[in-house]
Amino acid sequence: MRQVAIIGIGQTVIEEAWDRSLREMAGEACLDALHDASRETVDGLFVGNMMSGIINSQNNLGALIADWVGLRGVEAAKVEAACGSGGSALRSGLMAVASGELDSALVVGVEKMTDRPPHEVTAALATAADADYEVDMGVSFVGLNAMIMRRYMYEYGWKHADFAPFAINSHANALHNPYARLHQKITAEDFEKSAMIATPINLLDASPIGDGAAAVYLVPAESLVAGTPRLLIAASSAATDTIAVHNRPEPLFLTAAYKSAQDAYRQAGLKPEDIDVFELHDAFTIMCALSLEACGFAERGKGVQLALDGEIGPKGRVPICTRGGLKARGHPVGATGVYQVVELVQQLRGECSPTQVDGATIGMAQNIGGSGATIVTHIVKKE
Amino acid sequence: MRQVAIIGIGQTVIEEAWDRSLREMAGEACLDALHDASRETVDGLFVGNMMSGIINSQNNLGALIADWVGLRGVEAAKVEAACGSGGSALRSGLMAVASGELDSALVVGVEKMTDRPPHEVTAALATAADADYEVDMGVSFVGLNAMIMRRYMYEYGWKHADFAPFAINSHANALHNPYARLHQKITAEDFEKSAMIATPINLLDASPIGDGAAAVYLVPAESLVAGTPRLLIAASSAATDTIAVHNRPEPLFLTAAYKSAQDAYRQAGLKPEDIDVFELHDAFTIMCALSLEACGFAERGKGVQLALDGEIGPKGRVPICTRGGLKARGHPVGATGVYQVVELVQQLRGECSPTQVDGATIGMAQNIGGSGATIVTHIVKKE
């Protein structure tokens, strides 16, 4: 199996882009990544997207985007794993290059969410959960996360205000990311006063929807000139859990995140303490705590403490969401997993002042589809 | 890169299964394939599906189906390339095993189409075409194929009746396939008298929608006991074309089919005349002609002649649709590409009497997404 390197990245601003189509946004990210990689073509295109069939009346995105960006003829397909689609598409591109089937792959995550009214988007997002046994009972995707958060607070004794540092950190970091959806500093008081969505999740616990696209360009590491710095995918691992939260013996532990992270650590020969920067999937503040715990950065029930101790900022012990995370960079769902890896590359290249993690050489990204149902973890390493 | 073998197959009857859910149908095919492979688990699940988000309000099929069939925890994702989703998912599973990332993969194609009224299914199928520049103009997916067929008839001088042998062959073969959607012998007179859908495509030119699932189990060939017969994936190749038909310089030639088939022949070291059985994508009779021509079995404009000459039956020179094809076995869109490969395996195992192709050792399957936009070709070889 060949080792795979990232040689190009691209991303769009995340916004309500009512004047641009899905293909235009995906195209912008693809062309940026091609330009950044100094390449004009590629052997295959892998698209991460969740909801284009529902929201944009458009499937077959592989062929659509390939043609639009001047790659007519190349292999192309879409990969879907709910909000984990971006990470899953990256994994497909990685396997295509690692296997030797292709000598280069372009992975683009794209989601165009704001073209339809909010209640339709809420319904579309609920397709990440179990349609027959969760959604048909009337629970929305936020509702599921709210039940998890409430149980976590009850079980471990945390107050809602204790989750504020997660949102504050993401918003503070996004201020310095020109691609972020929200450029708005928030305080603990703002956090507690914001509008309730599904108790105990309020507006500032939740990531915003948005339109956006991000892309990475992959090649075999062996094709790069030796002696120059290389950004290698040191680990890639995916795992699943039950899609319905009520079927889990331990609903407060992200079993798939644990499996996927453990496997990634094993592949890379690393431990949690070796990770310099961790782009986690903060769709809701509760997910920050659960992800930190499942990946070995905090004991069970103690993820919140890590944030309260000030350890999650760019200069902390476990820097997370350094470009704003899902909370403030934004969460165009199928694109998010690719944004995370693009941001790791920016960190490892040292392009993130003033939220640069000093001397970062190893970054981890974890992308979650559903309420912990599909989880993909990647470790990127600068050599 | 490791060579990959198929050691198990499974499939459901294709029908209007109003009493069974998507996960139940996918589960049946998966469990059959596991049983056929004499395996109890697998390293990864790859799901081919096009429309579950729209029709079944369900995404995240990877985690959903993995859990349902007792594979909770394994890697899983869905691959979508419109009606080519099954072939694309197979290619993902293949690359996962070929790369060494996984030591086994289960690929399941599934589509549950009949739970919604026909006009909604027609709209969902149209998401395979260009939403902005074809569908918004009012053209349906049948409409696009009708324009191609009309132009083909004009350009090469064929009458509508000349396409009858394609439909007659598929229906005759499906009579002997217990999994087929339609068990109904048809005549040339039936063909000409059937109801018009979109001139010149009538009901018997078009494949029926249906609910169904099919699965294959993949392992590295090196893991099999030497000396016993093996079914190897000798070639796998995907290519794309413009998604909108009006953007093609030659709308009567399936460029992506040509590219994908040529690449497959090169990989396997074969020529068209070496193929014993060809499961092609006869969504409409016109697609039979175009596919035969693009893959080198007939000259341009002469695909129809091959059928008129009686060469496409199980005992003919180029046996196609030996289990009924999309036309009569049925076309549960995201499952079709996997059904094709399951049927090749049945042919190579010699299980298809009385439509068995005598002495078949090499089979080719070609799966098409959109009106020729995404095309995946596989060659399976018995050794």
Task: Give the model's pLDDT for residue B225.
Answer: 87
| Mean pLDDT (whole number) for A340-353 | 98
**Chain B contact present for A74, CB below 8 A:** yes
Q: Is the peptide bond before A200 cis (omega within 30 degrees of 0)?
A: yes
Q: What number of residues does chain A have?
A: 383
For residue A49, the chain B residue with the least C-alpha distance is: B80
- Distance, in Å, from the CA atom of B90 to the CA atom of B84, rounded to the nearest integer, reads 10
Is pLDDT at A336 greater than 90 in this prediction? yes
Task: Give the model's pLDDT for residue B226.
Answer: 79
**Chain A contact present for B113, CB below 8 A:** no
Tell me the Ramachandran region of residue B202: left when phi exceeds 0, alpha when psi lies from -120 to 50, beta otherwise: beta
Can you spell out the DSSP letters for B30-50? HHHHHHHTT-S--SEEEEE-S
3-state class (DSSP) for residue A30:
helix
Pairing, β B105-111 against β A277-279: unpaired
Is pLDDT at A227 greater than 90 in this prediction? no
The ipTM is 0.97
Confidence of residue B19 (pLDDT cuts 50, 70, 90): very high
| Mean pLDDT (whole number) for B273-297 | 98
What are the pLDDT digits (tens) for B299-346? 999 999 999 999 999 999 999 999 999 999 999 999 999 999 999 999
CA B329, B332, B335, B337 torsion-angle sign: positive
**Chain B contact present for A192, CB below 8 A:** no
What are the pLDDT digits (tens) for A67-100? 999 999 999 999 999 999 999 999 999 999 999 9
Task: Give the model's pLDDT for residue B109.
Answer: 98
CB pairs below 8 Å between A and B: how many? Answer: 219
How many beta carbons lie within 10 A of that of residue B68, not counting itself?
20
What are the pLDDT digits (tens) for A130-186? 999 999 999 999 999 999 999 999 999 999 999 999 999 999 999 999 999 999 999
What are the pLDDT digits (tens) for B238-283? 999 999 999 999 999 999 999 999 999 999 999 999 999 999 999 9
Q: What single-letter DSSP state applies at residue A185?
A: -
**Chain A contact present for B88, CB below 8 A:** yes
**Helices assigned H by DSSP within B253-301:** 255-268, 285-294
Q: Which residues of chain B does A370 touch, with a Cβ-Cβ cutoff of 8 Å?
A: 60, 63
Contact B73 A239 (CB under 8 A): yes
- Considering chain B, what is the average pLDDT of its residues? 97
Which amino acid is residue A236, in one-letter code? S
Q: What single-letter DSSP state applies at residue A187?
A: -
What are the pLDDT digits (tens) for A230-274? 999 999 999 999 999 999 999 999 999 999 999 999 999 999 999
Task: Give the model's pLDDT for residue A96.
Answer: 97
Q: How many CA atoms lie within 13 A of B262 on its CB side?
A: 9
- φ and ψ at B233, to 5 degrees? -85, 100
pTM (2 decimals)?
0.98
Which residues, in sequence order, are bridge partners of residue A198?
A: A201
CA–CA distance from B245 to each of B129, B147, B253, B258, B368 (Å)? 9, 10, 11, 16, 14
